[in-house]
Structure 1
Amino acid sequence: MASRWIRPEVYPLFAAMGVAMGICGFQLIRNITTNPEVSVNKARRASGVVENFEEGVKYADHRLRKYVRNRSPEIMPSINSFFSNPERSN
């Protein structure tokens, strides 16, 4: 019965769905634990609007954003420069 539903052709689909679910789970946990606008604690919810700007800046400037900040917005810079500057590539 299992061989009828689980075939080698669907392994990439399982992998893609697993990665997507992992990314969604990571973002959910990150928002619940570190987002300054999300309040799971009842006492913190009762406080109303919290103006903690340092916490908001810390949440917005995460490690990936700091890593990408000064980099070129290209996926494959060597290929882009090869096709955009053909005289320099030769």
Structure 2
Amino acid sequence: MASSSVNRWLRPEVYPLFAAVGVAVGICGLTLVRNITSNPEVRVNKDKRAAGVLENFEEGRRYAEHGLRKFVRNKRPEIMPSINKFFSESN
């Protein structure tokens, strides 16, 4: 019986599904770790929770302005810029 379930789920047609679910779980995991470790509003330590609401705007700004946001800030919102440029330019 175990062999039939393995044959059902480990077919080559299912590999892209496993890859997509794996990428989604990875992104969720990375987001969770980032929020737990660096979000100024999340306090895991009991001593930090006892401090109450902090007015630390600099820490919040650093959290919001992460590396990916800085990288894409001045870029055009295009997925394939070379193809867009090819079809939009008139010759």
CA RMSD between the two structures: 1.1
Alignment deviations for residues 26-85 of structure 1 (CA, whole Å, 9 cap, x no partner): 000000000001111111112111111111111111111111111111111122122222
Q: Distance in 2 between matches of 1:5 and 1:30?
A: 33
User: 4+ runs of 1 displaced by more than 3 Å?
Assistant: none
Q: Distance in 2 between matches of 1:39 and 1:4?
A: 44
Q: Which residue of 2 aligns with 1:71?
A: 75
Q: Distance in 1 between matches of 2:60 and 2:51?
A: 17
Q: Which residue of 2 aligns with 1:19?
A: 23
Q: Does 1:48 align with 2:52?
A: yes
- Unpaired runs of 5+ residues, structure 1, are none
Aligned length: 87
Query: Which stretch of structure 1 is more off in the superposition, 64-73 or 16-25?
Result: 64-73
Q: Which residue of 2 aligns with 1:80?
A: 84
Q: Distance in 1 between matches of 2:28 and 2:51?
A: 29
- Unpaired runs of 5+ residues, structure 2, are none
State TM-score, norm by structure 2.
0.87
Query: Alignment identity in percent?
Result: 70
Q: Distance in 1 between matches of 2:82 and 2:90?
A: 12
Q: Distance in 2 between matches of 1:81 and 1:4?
A: 45
